[in-house]
Amino acid sequence: AELIGSLTRKLEILKEAKEGLLADIKMNNALGEKMELLIKELCRPNEFGKYKMFIDDLEMVVKLLLSLSGRLARVENVLSIMGKNTNSEERVCICTFVAYLCCNSPKILLL
């Protein structure tokens, strides 16, 4: 009963957080649309095209960073669960992957 109560409270907290995030997303989208209209009014068509390309590129970079961050968090979580008793070859392989992600994240952004 105690576990169910705790899980129910945590679920409610997550639902509230989700609603807050959805409201933030809606507000950010509205602000982005207003900003785009303002820029479209103030800029020449070729400048607006450059702005749109920049925003699209920026969105791709952010998505890539979020993806890499998620992968890194999952790998680090696996490492923490594995502990010291795990096969050293497996651990070295995973550590190498973590190092690869950490070292190559800035390089990927330059592509």
Tens of pLDDT along 28-66?
999 999 999 999 999 999 999 999 999 999 999 999 888
Give pTM, 2 decimals.
0.62
* 13 in a structural domain: yes
Residue 80 and residue 38 in one domain: no
Residue 105 and residue 73 in one domain: yes
Return all residues near 76 (Cβ < 8 A) that are at least 6 apart. 98
The whole domain housing 17 covers: 1-42
Residue 61 and residue 92 in one domain: yes
* Total structural domains within the chain: 2
Sign of dihedral through CA atoms 61, 66, 67, 69?
positive
- How many CA atoms are closer than 13 Å to the CA of 97, on its beta-carbon side? 15
